[in-house]
Each structure stands twice: as C-alpha cells, then as structure tokens.
Structure 1
Amino acid sequence: MTQPYNGAQMLVCPVETADFQHTCAVVVSGDGINACGHTLLHIGGHWSWYVHIAGFYKVPKFMNGDGYKRYLKENGKREIRRWPVKLPNPQGAHDKLHELIEKPWLWGIIANNCASFVEEVVQAGGNKAGVYLNCPVAEPFA
C-alpha cells in the first residue's frame, strides 16, 4: 500500500528570496486524534510553494500548488484558514529555510511541531507571529 502524498524532499531549495514577499501560515485539518490541525508554510511569488514537516524525524517536504491539492485529497484534509504573514527581512526567512532543509526536524507533538517549523522561518524573517497554545485550528497565527 502506498503512503498518501506529503510532498517531496528538496536537496536544493527552489524558493527565491523574492518569493517571501507573499507568505502565509496555512492551517489544515489534522489526522486521526489530532484535533488541533496541521500548519504549512505557503510561499508565493514567481512560484507557489508549500513547505511543512510531515513525520517525527523527517526533513521538510515541498509541494507546488497542484501537489498541495493532491496532499489535501490523499490525506483527507481540508484547508481551515490562511494567515498572511509580512516579513520585513525576507532574506532571513530564506536563509532559515535553507538551513532547515538540510537536517531532519525532531518533531515533538506539543513542542517543536509543525507550527514551530513555520514559526522559525517567519521569525527569522523578522515577524514575531506564531501559535502559542500549539493548537492551530483554535487560535490565530499572530
């Protein structure tokens, strides 16, 4: 049985610094007992990319727009909301994403989770936004 689509590992980051002019935290429904949902980073500019952590000790996965639709369908998820995030330092966010794609992310359910991954990138971009209760469906990414 094949696993549902979660994106692809990128050895070279396809996202350019200019793409961070349009950035969103995207909240989708969770899996199984996860009622708090899942958070992905959407980066758009010349291209549209979704990046997220999918697994306990995995590298970030990338999807283009069509891949994101496939991800939602194959995983039985639905988009709940998007939170636009302004980044005063897009180069900082770009550099952080480059750093994070090189190593597995130690996912820790409550801490160091999918929302934490998105927070690290946007905070490196100069925005203090995040989720503080670690339940993305129940709070704003602000």
Structure 2
Amino acid sequence: MAEPYHGDDMVVCPLDFTDFKRTCAVIVSGDGINACGHALLHVGDAWYSHVAGVYDLPKFMHESGYQRYLKENGKREIRRWIVKLADPVGAHLKLHELMKKPWLWGVLPHNCASFVEEVMKAGGSNAGMYLNCPRAEAFA
C-alpha cells in the first residue's frame, strides 16, 4: 500500500515575493495520538508548505495537492489565521532557505508550528504560538 501524500520536494519555486502579501497559518487535525494538530504555511492564492517527517525536507503543494493531502491522511482543516507580513521578501528568502534542508522534528520545541513561525518572523511578523500546539492556541 502506498504512503499517503504529504506534498512534494520544492525543485523550482513558483512563488514571487508578492505572493507573501497573502499569508496564512493553516491548522489541520493531527495523526494518531497527536492531539495538537498540524500547522501548514499558506502563501498566495494556492500554495502550501509544511514539515511532514522526523528528518525530511519540508513539503510543498498546490491547492489540489492540499486537498489530496487532507483526504489521504484523514485530516480536516480546523482554522486558518491571516498573518500580515511587513517584509514579504524576507519571508520568501526564508522559505527558500528552509525548503533546501531537512527539518529535524523535535515534537513541541521544533515542529510544524515553529516551521511556519520561522517564515513569518523572517517576514517581519511576531505571530506565533507559545506552546507550539496548533489545535490548542491561536496563531497570534
């Protein structure tokens, strides 16, 4: 049986820094015993990125891939927060940097929420999560 879809490695980035004028933190339900849920970065009209492994490259997908991801992983979207970025160029550069190297999953201190936070902070936002438990708190 094939593994459920989690996205693709970013080979070529279809995003421009202007796409970061519309940025959201998206929270979906978690896997198995993960009651905290999962966070993804939504950029522009239809692009998502997230970390989806213990030590793996972050994944990237278009809206159709996001819908496939939800279906194949038995997830549902819980909420999304729009985050205004003062420096879209900084966020764009940070996403490029993060997409090129494996992300070491550290449960709560270095997880899916902190991945989204790093991009947002590079974009000039202070938005984030204190506990890094997406389902339990606001991304503010």
**TM-score where L is the length of structure 1:** 0.96
Q: Output the CA distance in 1 between the equivalents of 2:68 and 2:8.
A: 12
Structure 2 equivalent of residue 109 of structure 1: 107
Cα deviation digits, residues 83-112 of structure 1 (max 9, x gap): 000000000000000111111011111111
Q: Secondary structure at the match of 2:135?
A: helix
Counterpart residue identity of residue 89, structure 1:
D
Structure 2 equivalent of residue 28 of structure 1: 28
Cα deviation digits, residues 33-82 of structure 1 (max 9, x gap): 0000000000014xx10000000111111110111011000000000000
Q: How many residues align?
A: 140
Structure 2 equivalent of residue 74 of structure 1: 72
Unmatched 5+ residue regions in structure 1? none
Q: Output the CA distance in 1 between the equivalents of 2:114 and 2:90.
A: 16
Q: Output the CA distance in 1 between the equivalents of 2:92 and 2:132.
A: 24
**TM-score where L is the length of structure 2:** 0.98
What does 1:1-142 align with in structure 2 at a 5 Å threshold?
1-45=1-45, 48-142=46-140
Q: Output the CA distance in 2 between the equivalents of 1:122 and 1:94.
A: 10
Q: Output the CA distance in 1 between the equivalents of 2:12 and 2:107.
A: 27
Counterpart residue identity of residue 38, structure 2:
H
Q: Is the 8 A contact 1:13 1:101 kept in 2?
A: no
Q: Secondary structure at the match of 1:63?
A: strand
Q: Output the CA distance in 1 between the equivalents of 2:12 and 2:98.
A: 11
Aligned-residue CA RMSD (Å): 0.7
Q: Percent identity?
A: 69
